[in-house]
Amino acid sequence: MQLRIAARAVLVHDGRLLLVNAYPGGQSDLWCAPGGGMEAGTSLPDTLRREVHEETGLDIAVGVPCLVNEFHDPGRFHQVEVFFRCTLTRGHLREDWQDPAGIVTRRRFVTRAEMDTLRFKPDSLPRAAFGDAVLYDPLEPLVR
């Protein structure tokens, strides 16, 4: 089974959380925080700055961890994600931005109330984003 470690951004700007849809061609309506997998020799904050820029065109400052999440596809895949509080340092969302990997096709800032109308993972993301606790979201099966 493959184990993957990833970094994700909890970026709340003007009271709205940055979310991305990381399914090429809109194959799913599931939203998540931007970020991605580590490469050997790269720190979690460096990974996160690179991934957020690739997926959204935004530049960020990486702060403290606020959530650890695990999910898996039993027998095939297990991912551990460390979510960091981040701040926007430069840029704005553009409709014409393209993720070089072609994975993220949509990106948007949402309010806490708007999250109630979306499917997203992990379930604890709103508490991590709009609260001040450090959370652990236990292992759950992969959701598409």
Nearest alpha carbon to residue 79 among 28, 42, 38, 51 = 38
Residue 28 scores a pLDDT above 90: no
pLDDT at 74: 86
Mean pLDDT (whole number) for 34-61 = 96
Q: How far apart are CA 110 and CA 91, in angstroms?
A: 17
The pair of three-digit structure tokens given for residue 19, joined into one six-digit string: 């979310």
Tens digits of residue pLDDT in 97-142: 999 998 898 999 999 999 999 999 999 999 999 987 778 877 777 7
Model's pTM, two decimal places?
0.91
What range does the domain containing 11 cover? 2-141
pLDDT at 38: 93
Our count of domains for the chain comes to 1
Q: Which domain CATH number covers 48?
A: 3.90.79.10
The pair of three-digit structure tokens given for residue 119, joined into one six-digit string: 């499917």
